Structure 1
């Protein structure tokens, strides 16, 4: 299932750089609203995070590293951060913590 097919407008980009307090980070996939694109266009690294940042976990990622990235993206303005493990299971986070389903794309599957 494609993220861009579950959103109302906006754009999906891969490997989009974001300036954080811990240097430039690059989520695997982001979704940005049309308003975000209009405000920041395509010049990266972005000073703020797009609305949704997605990280695909690899064996080299520690839980601590992923938690740090989640916190950095949320601190830079992401509304949601999604992680996908090697089994296709999604975990979703917002500023309140882990979510059961995404708010921006409620029909998006929790597992691929």
Structure 2
């Protein structure tokens, strides 16, 4: 649960300190397993033009050339660019919380029912 809270805090801090920019799909890259990943070109105010290769691919392609998307990045750090979507911003905190909550419930239940289990 602590790791989930830490990742959530990191994500919120990143969103607060980031600049929002718009990117456009300039090409689609075909991977070995016949999936297509979009390549975005993003114009920033201070860091020039950034080329972003999206990590997720699909078949058929979910993106068309010329389509746009919003991104967040820390000014002066073009490597920090992240697509502005719920999963890409909060994915790890959600996964960690989904693991932690059932474990917390089970351990609390065991702790509360332990007196009844001893004979």
**TM (normalized to structure 2)?**
0.26
- Say which one has the larger Rg: 2
Structure number with higher strand proportion? 2
Quick check: which one's helix share is greater? 2
Identify which of structures 1 and 2 has the higher relative contact order when contacts are C-alpha pairs closer than 8 Å and 6+ apart: 2
